[in-house]
């Protein structure tokens, strides 16, 4: 029996979208308010999905405590109340768009999750704007 379990989590973080190799004018044109040099914050919400076979002995797909701790260590401790551009190494040279944040989260979790599982990361930057990354 294959299915997907989900764990919700959230973090607050600041970011700025811009490219160093573009002029100020072009950065404003493309990124608008998200280019604010003084940064701005979002309340990011995420849903991490783990897909696999349910263990017939326990009835579990994965111990949710393991998933909870993994998300805390890899995402919440690393991103919460941080300036993504300045304090999170993955974004030193990568624009912290919702697309790129979802991919970074997926890669961090993938590296620590048992290979027998498939993984998905849905990231909400606002209640209406969200992305899904499945690798």
At its nearest, how many Å lie between Ni ion and the CB of residue 124? 12
User: Taking CB under 5 A as the criterion, which residues in 25-64 touch Ni ion?
Assistant: 34
- Can you give the length of the chain in residues? 135
Of the pair 40, 72, the CB lying nearest Ni ion is at 40
Among the listed residues 10, 29, 73, 81, the single catalytic one is: 81
The residues that bridge with 121 in the sheet, in sequence order, are 48, 133
Binding of Ni ion by 14 (CB under 5 A): no
Distance between CA atoms of residues 121 and 7, nearest Å: 10
Of the pair 34, 75, the CB lying nearest Ni ion is at 34
Residue 125 annotated as catalytic: yes
Of the pair 51, 95, the CB lying nearest Ni ion is at 95
- Helix, strand or coil for residue 6? strand
All residues at 6 or more sequence positions from 76 whose CB lies less than 8 Å from its CB, including other chains: 9, 11
Binding site for Ni ion (CB under 5 A): 34
């Amino acid at each position: 029996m294959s299915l997907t379990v989900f764990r919700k989590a959230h973090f607050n973080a600041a970011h700025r979208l811009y490219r160093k190799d573009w002029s100020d004018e072009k950065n404003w044109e493309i990124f608008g308010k998200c280019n604010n040099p003084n940064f701005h914050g979002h309340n990011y919400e995420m849903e991490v999905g783990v897909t696999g076979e349910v263990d017939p002995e326990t009835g579990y797909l994965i111990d949710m405590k393991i998933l909870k701790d993994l998300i805390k260590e890899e995402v919440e401790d690393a991103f919460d109340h941080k300036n993504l551009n300045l304090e999170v190494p993955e974004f030193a040279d990568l624009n912290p768009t919702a697309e790129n944040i979802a991919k970074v989260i997926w890669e961090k979790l993938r590296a620590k999750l048992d290979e027998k599982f498939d993984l998905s990361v849905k990231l909400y930057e606002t209640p209406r704007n969200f992305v899904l990354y499945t690798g």
